[in-house]
């Protein structure tokens, strides 16, 4: 292949690549934007914007009614004081009266569904009414097209309603005007007609794109406000936990001490009495530990974390976690952490994070299973993996798994994994997970070596 042919092939390939890229970007934009329009049926989302939507719509209706009235001057210039003029004047009066009715309705309504339906009917009737006006003088199509261009932007951008309810009146208005022009077509209209139709096509592309972008932007605002409310709520919980944590923990320590003393004193009891007493004390101790864990989670989530990094043997830190955790006999424990190099981290925070993960794994296997703890080095990072063969995590929970107060357990506060994530990130690491229903879950902690 000669050099010229090679360049031509290369340019065609680049052109095809650019074309595919543009098409893919457009498809991606439309797909994401249309996903946002699904939220138009979300009652809470619509109610969040409802007051401002009604206020904006009333202002737009007033401007529409004012414009309809002012254009009666154009009717007089074209038709004079003819029967057609008075007929159009009556039509304009009806449209203005209907606009006034809708203006009042929007100010009183409390339902977004009723609002959407009324606005669809209103915009359709306004479009049909103005098309009737245009029929009386089709040769004056150029200012009509300009009016329709403006109206399409108004429908899409100034009337906040469902996207489909914006699109229908805009298309009716545009297609209706094209039909009027086609019926009254004459060759002298060609030079200005082509420009007018191009502008009409252009506005019916740009306005919907802007509207979809606006719908998407509104949803992001709504999500941001919800996130801020949730953050404020969790901050209040954290402040409360910090204040009452110490007051609750002190009595708990006293209870634990009394349980220990009681166990020592009943050692000399007869066997049946001794067994029953020990079972009761074990139950009290178990519930006390559960309350203590809740307090620890609340305090870990609420208090500022300042890791005190020291050089430690990670293998010993990981193994030491099982000194405070009782693994049931029906669960097979597999630990592979030998020969791991020393790293610089906060051993207390590492133990705290792993304790939560291992307790979760044990609770996920009430009928037994396999619990694995593995550690290895990869790309100058320490990797710690906690795996179980338990119930798995439902798909609908996965995106919010590390969110506070989200839990899959009947008995749980939903703070354990949120605390783990916070502890790991305080150490400069990250945590990810993989899970399948009825096959198990694997959490992967990545920590810096220094």
- Tell me the pLDDT tens digit for each residue of 264-289: 777 666 666 677 777 777 777 766 76
Domain that holds residue 224: 3-230
Q: Could you tell me if residue 235 is inside a domain?
A: no
Cβ(36)–Cβ(219) under 8 Å?
yes
pTM value > 0.75:
no
Answer yes or no: do 168 and 292 share one domain: no
User: Could you tell me the two tokens for 197?
Assistant: 């139709």
Where a domain ends, among 204, 230, 256?
230
Length of the chain: 450
Which residues in 299-410 belong to E strands, given as ranges? 310-313, 331-336, 342-345, 369-378, 381-388
Does 182 lie in the same domain as 66?
Answer: yes
**What CA–CA distance (Å, rounded) separates 170 from 150?**
10
Query: Measuring CA to CA, which residue among 280, 281, 291, 279 is closest to residue 253?
Result: 291
Is the same domain home to 350 and 261?
Answer: no
Query: 72 and 202 share a domain?
Result: yes
Is 138 exposed, middle or buried (CB count within 10 Å of its CB: 0-12, 13-18, 19+)? middle
Judge contact between 446 and 383, C-beta under 8 A.
Answer: yes
Residues 31 and 83 in one domain: yes
What is the reported pLDDT for 201? Answer: 87
| Domain shared by 97 and 50, yes or no | yes
Domain count along the chain? 3
- What is the H or E stretch that residue 199 is in? helix 190-265
Least Cα distance to 127 among 197, 179, 195, 202 occurs for 179
Picking from 182, 203, 230, the residue at the C-terminal end of a domain is 230
Residue 239, domain member (yes or no) = no
Give the bridge partners for 312, in sequence order.
343
Q: Residue holding tokens 């902690």?
A: 445
Residue 238 lies in a domain: no
Q: Is residue 289 part of a domain?
A: yes
What residues does 127 pair with on adjacent strands? none
Locate all alpha helices (DSSP H) within 266-364, ordered by sequence.
271-302, 314-320, 347-363
- Same-domain check for residues 171 and 263: no
Please tell me whether residues 351 and 221 are part of one structural domain.
Answer: no
Q: Give, in order, the Cα–Cα distances in Å from 223 to each of 84, 113, 153, 219, 405.
A: 53, 21, 26, 6, 18
Domain final residue pick, 270, 285, 302: 302
Dig out the tokens for 213 from the structure: 């972008």
Inside any domain, residue 242: no
Question: Are β-strands 430-436 and 369-378 bridged in parallel, bridged antiparallel, or unpaired?
Answer: unpaired
Residue with tokens 């306005």, as numbered in its chain: 207
pLDDT < 50 stretches in the chain:
1-4, 6-7, 10, 13, 410
- For residue 194, give the DSSP letter: H
Beta-ladder partners of 375: 384
CA distances from 44 to 39, 47, 164, 219, 226 (A): 10, 5, 20, 11, 11
In a domain, 116, yes or no: yes
Cα-Cα-Cα-Cα torsion 34, 398, 449, 327, nearest 10 degrees, comes to 180
- Provide the 3-class DSSP secondary structure of residue 174: helix
- What are the structure tokens assigned to 239, written together? 């402040």
In a domain, 240, yes or no: no
Identify whether residues 164 and 276 lie together within a single domain.
no
Contact 328, 362 (CB under 8 A): yes
Q: Check whether residue 323 and residue 198 sit in a common domain.
A: no
CATH assignment of the domain containing 426:
3.30.565.10
Phi, psi of 120 (to 5 degrees): -60, -50
**How far is 409 from 370, CA to CA, in rounded Å?**
19
CA distance 441 to 450: 28
Q: Which residue has the tokens 């006999």?
A: 329
Are 338 and 400 within one domain? Answer: yes
In eight-state DSSP terms, residue 430 is E
Which pLDDT belongs to residue 32?
Answer: 58
Same domain, yes or no, for 10 and 61? yes
Could you tell me if residue 23 is inside a domain? yes
């Amino acid at each position: 292949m000669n050099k010229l042919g090679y360049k031509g092939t290369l340019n065609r390939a680049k052109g095809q690549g650019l074309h595919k890229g543009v098409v893919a970007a457009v498809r991606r934009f439309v797909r994401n934007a249309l996903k946002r329009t699904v939220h138009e049926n979300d009652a809470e989302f619509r109610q969040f914007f409802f007051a401002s939507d009604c206020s904006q719509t009333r202002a737009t209706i007033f401007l529409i009614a004012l414009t309809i009235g002012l254009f009666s001057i154009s009717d007089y210039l074209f038709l004079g004081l003819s029967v057609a003029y008075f007929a159009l004047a009556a039509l304009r009066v009806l449209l203005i009266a209907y606009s006034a009715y809708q203006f009042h309705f929007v100010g009183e309504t409390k339902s977004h569904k009723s609002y959407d339906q009324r606005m669809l009917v209103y915009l359709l009737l306004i479009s049909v009414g103005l098309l009737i006006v245009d029929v009386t003088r089709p040769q004056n199509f150029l200012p009509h097209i300009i009016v329709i261009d403006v109206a399409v932007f108004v429908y899409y951008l100034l009337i906040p309603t469902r996207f489909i309810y914006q699109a229908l009146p805009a298309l009716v208005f545009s297609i209706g005007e094209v039909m009027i022009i086609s019926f009254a077509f004459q060759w002298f209209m060609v030079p200005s007609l082509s420009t007018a139709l191009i502008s009409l096509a252009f506005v019916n592309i740009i306005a919907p794109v802007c509207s979809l972008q606006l719908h998407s932007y509104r949803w992001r605002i709504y999500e941001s406000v919800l996130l801020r409310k949730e953050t404020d709520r969790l901050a209040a919980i954290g402040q409360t936990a910090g204040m009452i944590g110490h007051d609750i923990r002190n009595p708990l320590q006293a209870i634990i001490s009394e349980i220990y003393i009681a166990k020592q004193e009943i050692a000399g009891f007869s066997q049946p009495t001794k067994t029953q007493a020990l079972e009761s004390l074990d139950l009290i101790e178990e519930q006390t530990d559960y309350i203590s864990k809740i307090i620890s989670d609340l305090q870990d989530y609420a208090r500022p974390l300042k890791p005190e990094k020291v050089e430690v043997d990670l293998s010993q830190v990981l193994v030491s976690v099982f000194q405070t955790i009782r693994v049931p006999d029906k669960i097979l424990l597999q630990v592979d952490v030998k020969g791991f190099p020393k790293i610089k981290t906060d051993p207390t925070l590492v133990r705290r994070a792993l304790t939560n993960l291992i307790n979760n794994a044990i609770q996920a296997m009430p009928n037994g299973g396999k619990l694995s703890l593995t550690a290895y080095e990869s790309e100058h990072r320490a990797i710690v993996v906690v795996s179980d063969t338990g119930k798995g995590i439902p798909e609908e929970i996965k995106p919010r798994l590390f969110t506070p107060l989200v839990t899959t357990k009947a008995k749980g506060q939903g703070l354990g994994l949120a605390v783990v994530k916070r502890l790991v990130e305080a150490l400069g690491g990250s945590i990810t997970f993989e899970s399948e229903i009825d096959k198990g879950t694997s959490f992967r902690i990545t920590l810096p070596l220094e």
